[in-house]
Structure formats: structure tokens, C-alpha cells
């Protein structure tokens, strides 16, 4: 039996090594913003750059994708970089030991084994659940996390998705950290935090899609067998285990009026307490999403989308901090976190090898703290935004041009950002700035894609 497995994996390795289906590309990019865009609050120039590689292998049974980039940053920045931006957050940000600037990394890996009606995958990547630009259930805001799962097409119009992921809690596990502390150095080991997720997608008619999600955050054990049963509902399991974990539910729908025009909604529910559903004070906390999209508006090869997201001040946070719906200090759901809302609109036009896009976003975010989490559970919280808020208005015009060299793209962008802040995060009351972005990307999309 062991010999058969060895021969099987040896065959796979040889096929991978000598296959014509392998593609390896270098990745290089640099991007400069004259005033920091919405990456930072202050008016300060910021330059990011990176180098790495992209590896892809495809055959009818296996696929392997690897993207790795070493990132560098030069400018007046700190760990709040991208904190009020939809740009994907970083797993860490280290000060350079030998030069000015900071360093981080980006990694995306996925190994998939394809069956007739299913795909089993393992890797480090992320999701954008639902049909919106910015998901309210699981988005791409937090750093990618290791996971294993599968997609199963049960019927032509019925899909089932499951994954189990390993998150970063950011909470020190002192019982293990003591083993990594001496006169030379000290390392902090975080307490384990995990997520299990499953989703059913049903398409009863060609122009209508329904999706139903359930997820659970659990911690302080590396793996819980109960949540490894893909088709078992998590809600009764969580109660069976003692009501210590954090359950989320949601649904979304997409209705296509025509092949070029669609409408979508999303709904997210945290802390389900069925007997209190109709009470004025309850622990059923919601987030909503509404969106509309249309193609070929005014011009051919164009697309327009408008979206509104509303996030309750009580979602994503848990009575036990170890079970927050977060990873690396960033929400797994809507990028601005709880107690927020966003109105966005985007129009893009593709012509030959170029794309121009006009984007607008207005985001409002209120106070969130450990104290507010306690008041939420005690039903003594203040009304929305009554403790203050910060506001961001973002408007940009961006032009991406593909060169004659395959994979090489240039970026030019001008944007206006207005921050209004009453001291929740910074000490200034407002900031209005214009930034010009210039970028060169080789085998890599721009930072906002």
C-alpha cells in the first residue's frame, strides 16, 4: 500500500517537472503616490515596490498556482497602513534593519485535484463571498489564510462549497511563548483561531441565483472534528459544544434582468437568538448589501456598478475576544469592519489594451472598542455614531495601459481623499488631499485589484 502511494506521488512529481503545461513568470512592480492616497491619513509621499514570481501548472486532473512577492515600502508609514482602505491588508510590517523603509510579503498558493463533479483544494488564498464588490460575509480585506476544502457540483444548478481555515488571532498564548524567550530574542506565539465555512448555491432558473452561508469561528484548539463534517449545520454543533464559539449566517441573491443588467442583495446575521427575533432588544445582529450593475452603458465594453453596504455596530465582534470574526487584526467580512456603511460607484471602460476607471466611495465608520462590545451584549449601547465617527470620501480616475511587452502595464491615477475624523484614530479633525499615482507592473495587477 505504501509502495503504491510512493509510485503515485513520484509519477505526479515527474509529470509536473517535465510537463509542457508549466508556466513560470517573474513579478516586478513599483507604485508611487505623491500624497499617500488613502493608504495613510497624512499628506506624505509613499512608494511601494515588490519582486517575486508566479508559477502555474495545469492538467486535466491537477492544478497548482503559486504567487509570491517580497514587498517594500518607503515613506512615513506605520502599522495603520491601509487601515481605512479597502486595499488588502498585510500579514506583518517590519522595519528594515539595514536601510530606510519597511518590508512585508504576499503569498497565494492553491493546489487543486479535479474530479468529475468536484474539486478538492489546499492552499493559502482568500474569498469574496457573494456578488458584491466588497463582501459583507467573507472578503479579501484580511491577509490570505491557510485552508483546505472543496467545491462540489451536486447538480447542474446546485453547488456546495466547504472550507476549513486557520486564522491569526493576535492574542498571545503565554503558555507557549515562554519557550521562545531567552537572552537572545523573544517571540510571541498566538493562540489558535479557526474558521469553518459552508455554502449552498442554487440556480432555480437561468437568471436567478440564491446562496446560503454558515460559518463558525472557534479557538484554543488546533482542529475540532465536529466542524470537519461539511454537511452538518454548525449552529446546533456550537450549542452542543457549550456555546463558546461564534456562529454567523447569511444569504445572497443575484437577479439578472438581461445578460447585461443585474441586481443583487446580501444579508449577514451574527449571534442568532431565535426566541428574541421580534424583541426590540435582541442578539440578532445584521449587515446588509444592495447592488446594481449594468454593462455597455453609454459605450461598448464598459461596466457600471453601484453598491451600498450597511454594517451593524455589533457584528464581527464576540463576547469572547478570542472568537472575533477577525484575522491579523482585520475583519473577515466587510473591509471597514462593524459600525460602518459605504456607498460606492464605479464606471470602467476597456479599449484595445487600455482601461480607464472612475471610482467613488463614501465610507463612514463609528467607534468600536472592548467597552462597546460589553455594552452590546448588555443591550446598553448608545445609538449609532453617537460616540463619534470618521468619514472618508474617495474619488479617483485611473488609467491602465498595456505595453507591447506581454505582461507589462503602466498605471496613472489621480485621486482626491477627504478624511473627517474626530479623534477616534488620529488627532486631526480633517484632511483633504490630492494624490497622483504612477506605477509599473510586470505580471502583476495594480494594488487595488
pLDDT, tens digit, 9 for 90 and up, residues 5-14: 555 554 555 5
Range ranked top by mean pLDDT from 69-83, 172-186, 316-330: 316-330
User: What pLDDT does residue 174 have?
Assistant: 86
Query: Which residues, including other chains, have CB under 8 Å from residue 342's CB and lie 6 or more apart?
Result: 134, 307, 308, 309, 334, 336, 361, 362, 363, 364
Q: Name the pTM for this structure.
A: 0.90
CA distances from 174 to 40, 160, 180 (A): 33, 39, 10
Mean pLDDT over residues 21-43, rounded? 92
Mean pLDDT over residues 296-309, rounded? 95
Statement: residue 3 has pLDDT above 60: no
Q: Any idea which fold 115-351 has?
A: Porin (2.40.160)
Q: Minimum mean pLDDT among 40-49, 69-78, 365-374: which range? A: 365-374
Q: Are 88 and 140 in contact (CB under 8 A)?
A: yes
Mean pLDDT over residues 418-435, rounded? 74
Residue 344 and residue 361: Cα distance in Å, rounded? 4
Bridge-partner residues for 194, per DSSP? Answer: 166, 218
User: What pLDDT does residue 275 have?
Assistant: 64
Average pLDDT, rounded, for the chain? 89
Q: Which of 166, 243, 159, 163 is nearest to 203 (CA)?
A: 159
Q: Which residue has the higher pLDDT, 357 or 428?
A: 357
Dihedral Cα 220, 225, 226, 232, nearest 10 deg: 140
Cell 457540483 belongs to residue: 153
Residue 402 and residue 366: Cα distance in Å, rounded? 40
Statement: residue 16 has pLDDT above 60: no
| Residues found in the chain | 449
pLDDT tens, position by position, 162-210: 999 999 999 998 888 888 888 888 888 899 999 999 999 999 999 999 9
Where along the chain do its domains lie? 115-351
User: What pLDDT does residue 182 have?
Assistant: 85
Residue 119 and residue 152: Cα distance in Å, rounded? 7
Mean pLDDT over residues 151-158, rounded? 96
Statement: residue 234 has pLDDT above 80: yes
CB atoms within 10 A of CB 149: 19
Strand ranges inside 206-329, DSSP E:
208-219, 246-258, 261-270, 285-295, 302-311, 326-327
% of the chain with per-residue pLDDT over 70: 90
Residue 215 and residue 135: Cα distance in Å, rounded? 14
Amino acid at each position: 500500500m505504501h509502495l503504491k502511494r510512493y509510485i503515485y506521488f513520484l509519477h505526479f512529481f515527474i509529470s509536473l517537472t517535465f510537463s509542457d503545461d508549466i508556466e513560470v513568470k517573474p513579478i516586478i512592480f513599483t507604485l508611487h503616490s505623491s500624497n499617500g492616497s488613502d493608504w495613510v491619513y497624512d499628506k506624505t509621499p509613499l512608494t511601494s515596490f515588490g519582486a517575486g514570481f508566479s508559477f502555474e501548472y495545469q492538467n486535466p486532473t491537477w492544478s497548482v498556482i503559486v504567487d509570491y512577492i517580497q514587498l517594500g515600502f518607503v515613506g512615513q508609514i506605520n502599522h495603520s497602513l491601509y487601515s481605512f482602505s479597502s486595499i488588502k491588508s498585510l500579514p506583518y510590517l517590519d522595519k528594515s534593519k539595514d536601510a530606510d523603509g519597511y518590508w512585508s510579503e504576499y503569498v497565494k498558493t492553491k493546489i487543486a485535484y479535479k474530479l468529475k463533479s468536484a474539486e478538492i483544494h489546499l492552499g493559502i488564498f482568500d474569498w469574496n463571498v457573494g456578488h458584491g464588490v466588497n463582501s459583507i460575509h467573507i472578503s479579501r480585506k484580511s491577509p490570505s489564510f491557510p485552508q483546505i476544502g472543496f467545491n462540489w457540483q451536486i447538480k447542474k444548478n446546485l453547488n456546495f462549497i466547504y472550507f476549513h481555515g486557520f486564522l491569526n488571532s493576535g492574542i498571545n498564548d503565554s503558555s507557549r511563548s515562554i519557550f521562545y524567550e531567552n537572552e537572545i530574542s523573544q517571540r510571541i506565539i498566538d493562540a489558535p483561531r479557526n474558521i469553518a465555512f459552508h455554502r449552498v448555491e442554487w440556480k432555480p432558473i437561468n437568471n436567478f441565483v440564491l446562496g446560503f452561508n454558515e460559518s463558525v469561528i472557534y479557538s484554543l484548539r488546533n482542529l475540532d472534528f465536529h466542524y470537519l463534517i461539511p454537511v452538518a449545520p454548525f449552529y446546533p454543533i456550537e450549542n452542543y459544544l457549550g456555546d463558546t464559539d461564534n456562529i454567523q449566517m447569511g444569504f445572497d441573491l443575484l437577479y439578472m434582468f438581461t445578460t447585461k443588467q443585474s441586481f443583487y442583495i446580501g444579508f449577514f446575521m451574527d449571534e442568532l437568538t431565535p426566541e428574541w427575533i421580534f424583541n426590540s432588544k435582541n442578539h440578532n445582529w445584521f449587515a446588509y448589501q444592495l447592488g446594481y450593475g449594468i454593462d455597455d452603458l453609454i459605450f461598448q465594453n464598459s461596466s457600471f456598478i453601484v453598491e451600498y453596504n450597511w454594517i451593524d455596530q455589533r457584528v464581527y465582534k464576540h463576547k469572547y475576544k478570542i472568537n472575533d470574526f477577525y484575522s491579523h487584526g482585520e475583519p473577515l467580512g466587510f473591509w471597514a469592519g462593524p459600525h460602518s456603511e459605504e456607498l460606492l460607484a464605479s464606471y470602467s471602460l476597456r479599449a484595445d489594451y487600455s482601461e480607464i476607471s472612475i471610482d467613488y466611495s463614501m465610507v463612514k465608520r463609528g467607534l468600536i472598542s472592548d467597552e462597546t462590545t460589553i455594552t452590546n451584549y448588555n443591550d446598553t449601547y448608545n445609538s449609532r455614531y453617537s460616540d463619534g465617527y470618521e468619514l472618508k470620501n474617495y474619488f479617483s480616475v485611473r488609467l491602465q495601459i498595456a505595453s507591447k511587452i506581454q505582461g507589462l502595464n503602466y498605471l496613472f491615477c489621480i485621486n482626491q481623499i477627504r478624511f473627517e475624523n474626530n479623534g477616534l484614530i488620529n488627532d486631526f479633525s480633517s484632511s483633504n488631499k490630492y494624490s497622483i499615482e504612477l506605477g509599473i507592473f510586470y505580471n502583476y495587477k495594480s494594488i487595488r485589484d
